[in-house]
Every structure is written in structure tokens, then in C-alpha cells.
Amino acid sequence: MNYKKLGNTDINVSTICLGTMTWGEQNTQDEGFEQMDFALDRGVNFWDTAELYSVPPKEETFGKTEIIIGNWFEKTKKRNKVILATKVAGPSRKYIRGGGNNYTLNKMTEALDNSLKRLKTDYIDLYQLHWPERNTNMFGKLGYVHDENEEWNKFEDILDHLSKFIKDGKIRDIGLSNETPWGVSRYLNLAENNNLPRMMSVQNPYSLLNRSYEVGLAEISIRDKVGLLAYSPLASGYLTGKYRNNQMPKNSRLERDGDFWTRYNKPNTVKAVDNYYEISKKHDLNFTKMSIKFCEIQPFITSVIIGATSMDQLKTNIESVNINLTDEVISEINEVQKIYPNPCP
């Protein structure tokens, strides 16, 4: 396994991070336990969850993934072996603390205390804001509609709440998710100028089908030591090749919940995937591993958050760290990117 520092902290996190969002829905607790045992054994010390999980989000499964992880900590007594990241939900459905904006002191305190209880721990290593409260472009949305009268909690107030949680020993560090260059820069500036805690990571999507992070945020990640935690590196599974030639494998994400997972079902997805697949075959590389490794080697990335629904998938995804992408492979990948730039932003 490879390791990098989280933000400008001294915390070493594995460059493969264990994603967990299918546990409690598509995967059982036992399957989650098996994944945690295996991943930790392979040096994956960084795990990502959220109060919202499992997904697709539903009232009855809210918090279920955290419960599974908490049960594993209780059973194995290995909490101290893991750098644990979770998230407080953004403006949300009615069943999450009544809906609406979520980053007030009261709501965040309630969210954090409940996460700690479910996770059966007294601290979170990385506490992330799952998505911004303001209306901005996230989850693949394009076009920006500005509303002068929109209201959200001030960034400095949110940082103040997070600072309190750090002082109370409930969290160690903080991070953003689904943020824009404007949001990340503003949080960093406010922290620096007001002696507030600084964001250590940005958890946004990144894959061969969506390299939009490279446009604005990559520079911020490197210059300001606020690395990307890249989610959906396989674009929901498209970048394994499993949906090529109109295949729809039984019990796959798209077969189960295709109406929910529309983000990667775009006009140029199939053509781009076919082209990347051909590169992997030409160079005798496993396509899934090539797709993940391409993310892992990016200098602005701290860790790649993988998701797996079986042990075979988990093994393949973790083993991606061991392959090498030659300059020739990278340059062929970049040629495809020129033809199909970010088909799934």
C-alpha cells in the first residue's frame, strides 16, 4: 500500500480509502465486516462513511452504515488502527433533523453526537461537510443560477462550530465534499485570517470519465495542501467494462438502481469507456486496475475512495496500487480525453 499525508497534518492515510456506502443496503453487516478485515490487513487504514449512508438514501437506512462500522470496532477493538472519516449531511430531506439547512451549531452537534454513538467511538478523525448548503453546482449539475436572497450558514460560523468539536476532542480534522473552487478557497482564507481550523481535504468525484477537478481545484489542492479524496473512481462501475456491449449484470448497481444512478449514463460514456478499455487491452492491463491507478497517481489526490460489493471486487481494487502505468499508457489516455472530455462531469 502507498501512503500520503492528509492535508498538512501528520496523519498518514493509505492512497486507497475504503468506501462503505453500500453496506446496510446492497451489502450485509457480515459482508461489511469481511471487507473491513481484508482492507485493514492489506494496509488500507483510511475509511470513509457518512451519517446519510447507506445509499440510495432512505429514511429507514439512514445511519445504517455507521452502525455496521461501529459494531466492527466493538467486536475487533481495532478503532485505533483506522483513520475514520464521516460526514454531516447538507441541506436535506425532512427525515434528517427536519430538513433545510443543516450546518447550525445545534444540528451539527446532534449529527456528530449521533454519528459517534453509532460508530461506537469517542472521536472522528476527519469530519466532512457532505455538500454545500448554498445552491451551487454539485453532483454533476451544470449552469449556475444565482439567487441573491438565498440563505445559508456563514462559513466562519460553521468553522467556529467545527473548532468547538475539535476542542471538545470529538473530531481531529475537517474536510469538504462536493465543493467548488470558490468554496474551498473561501474556507481556507477564512480559517487563515481568523485562526479557525483549516479544511484538510476535498471529497469530490474524479475518474477517467470526469476529470473536471483538474481545471480549478487541482491547483488549490497542491498549493494549499488540501488534497482530493476522489470518489466514484470507477464511475459507478462503467470503468470496469462490465456494462460494455449493452451488458447489464445481475444485481449490479445499474441493474438494481439505474434510475437513481444516472450520473454516468451520458451520451459519450460508452464510446469513452470502449476507448479506455482498448488501451488497457493493448497494454495487457486489467481495465479496473488501470482506471483506479490513473486516479491514484495524480499529484493532487490524497486518496482514492473505492467501493466494492464483493470480495473479488475489493481485492482487484486494492491491488490496483501494484500496477504501473507507463508514459505511453498515460499519453494514450490523454488522447481519448481530448476526444471525449469529461463525458460525465
Ligand X SMILES: NC(=O)c1ccc[n+]([C@@H]2O[C@H](COP(=O)([O-])OP(=O)(O)OC[C@H]3O[C@@H](n4cnc5c(N)ncnc54)[C@H](OP(=O)(O)O)[C@@H]3O)[C@@H](O)[C@H]2O)c1
Taking the C-alpha atoms of residue 241 and residue 335, their distance in angstroms, rounded to an integer, is 19
Tell me, what DSSP letter sits at residue 214? G
Region near ligand X per CB under 6 A, out of 275-283, 293-301, 307-315, 333-341: 307-315
Q: CB under 6 A: which stretch of 20-28, 34-42, 90-98, 157-165 binds ligand X? A: 20-28
First-to-last C-alpha distance (Å) of the chain:
29
Identify the sign of the CA torsion 175, 179, 185, 189: negative
SS3 content of the chain, % helix, strand, coil (to 5): 45, 15, 40
Task: Report how far residue 99's alpha carbon sits from residue 90's, in angstroms, rounded to the nearest whole number.
Answer: 9
| Interatomic CA distance for residues 116 and 110, integer angstroms | 10
> Does residue 48 belong to the site contacting ligand X (CB under 6 A)?
yes
Question: Could you tell me which stretch among 3-11, 147-155, 161-169, 310-318 binds ligand X (CB under 6 A)?
Answer: 310-318
The residues, any chain, with a CB within 8 Å of residue 149's CB and separated by 6 or more, are none
Q: How many residues bind ligand X (CB under 6 A)?
A: 29
Q: Which residue number, 192 or 311, has a Cβ lying nearer to ligand X?
A: 311
Binding residue for ligand X (CB under 6 A) from 161, 172, 211, 253? 253
Minimum separation from the CB atom of position 143 to ligand X (A) = 20
**32 binds ligand X per the rule CB under 6 A:** no
Nearest CB to ligand X, comparing residues 169 and 237: 237
**Comparing C-alpha atoms, which of 156, 126, 321 is closest to residue 226?**
126
Q: Which of 305, 321, 333, 336 binds ligand X (CB under 6 A)?
A: 305
User: What is the H or E stretch that residue 46 is in?
Assistant: strand 46-48
Query: 25 or 332, CB closer to ligand X?
Result: 25
* Interatomic CA distance for residues 17 and 320, integer angstroms: 12
> How many Å apart are CA 111 and CA 122, to the nearest integer?
14
53 is catalytic: yes
Nearest distance, CB of residue 239 and ligand X, angstroms: 7
- The phi and psi torsions of 65 (rounded to 5 degrees) equal -65, -45
Strand partners, 175: 128
User: Which 193-232 positions form the footprint of ligand X (CB under 6 A)?
Assistant: 203, 231-232
| 237 part of the interface to ligand X, by CB under 6 A | yes
Among the listed residues 153, 162, 157, 61, the one whose alpha carbon sits nearest the alpha carbon of residue 109: 162
Cβ 234 to ligand X shortest distance, Å: 3
SS3 113: helix
Q: Please identify which residue in 68, 116, 308, 325 interacts with ligand X, judged by CB under 6 A.
A: 308
Q: Which of residues 278-297 bind ligand X (CB under 6 A)?
A: 288
How many CA atoms does the CB half-sphere of 190 hold within 13 Å?
Answer: 16
The verdict on 313 binding ligand X (CB under 6 A) reads yes
Measured from the CB atom, the residue of 253 and 266 that comes closer to ligand X is 253
Output the smallest distance, CB 171 to ligand X, in A.
Answer: 17
**Which residue in the set 212, 280, 302, 317 belongs to the binding site for ligand X (CB under 6 A)?**
317
Q: Which residues are annotated as catalytic?
A: 53
* Site of interaction with ligand X (CB under 6 A): 19-22, 26, 48, 177-178, 203, 231-237, 240, 242, 252-253, 288, 305-309, 313, 316-317
